[in-house]
């Protein structure tokens, strides 16, 4: 059983958070919800979920992988130094990182898309390209440890590819 982190902040896309949260548990993994602080965050439509741990309290070596949901939460997440550092640390360890929709903003802030193929929501396409990525309009897009997808309709194939990366 692997321990997988899921990042959370206000205005997360509920479908991109809830599906991986339960799917990873169904696959036998321990799931820990990580926020900029330990508190209840609210999704785009108001759904509440409490972070189990703050990013500052998490050690990258304790996680086997990370999920970054989209919505507008990644814009809040990337303002948290410990959250960005966690993404960087997991990438350095070559741990699988699944990012969907606007989660590409976190990958950009962690400076881990340069020279890599990724996808994301169409409105952040230019952001990803300007950060040095090759944007691919498909899902899932797997490049090394990164597993990216565009939007909620991609969730099943995105999670299947992430689970395959986890082994």
Catalytic residues: 102
For residue 27, what is the DSSP state?
T
Residue 45 C-alpha from the chain's centroid = 19
């Amino acid at each position: 059983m692997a321990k997988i982190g899921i990042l959370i902040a206000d205005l997360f896309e509920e479908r991109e958070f809830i599906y991986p949260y339960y799917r990873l548990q169904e696959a036998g993994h321990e799931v820990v919800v990580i926020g900029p602080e330990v508190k209840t965050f609210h999704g785009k439509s108001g759904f509440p979920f409490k972070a189990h741990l703050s990013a500052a309290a998490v050690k990258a070596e304790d996680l086997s992988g990370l999920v970054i949901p989209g919505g507008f939460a990644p814009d809040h997440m990337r303002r948290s130094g410990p959250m960005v550092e966690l993404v960087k640390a997991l990438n350095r360890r070559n741990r699988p990182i699944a990012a969907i929709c606007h989660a590409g903003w976190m990958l950009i802030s962690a400076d881990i898309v340069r020279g890599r193929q990724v996808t994301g929501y169409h409105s952040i396409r230019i952001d990803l390209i300007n950060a040095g990525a090759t944007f691919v309009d498909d899902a899932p897009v797997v490049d090394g440890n990164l597993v990216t997808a565009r939007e909620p309709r991609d969730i099943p194939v995105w999670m299947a590819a992430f689970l395959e990366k986890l082994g």
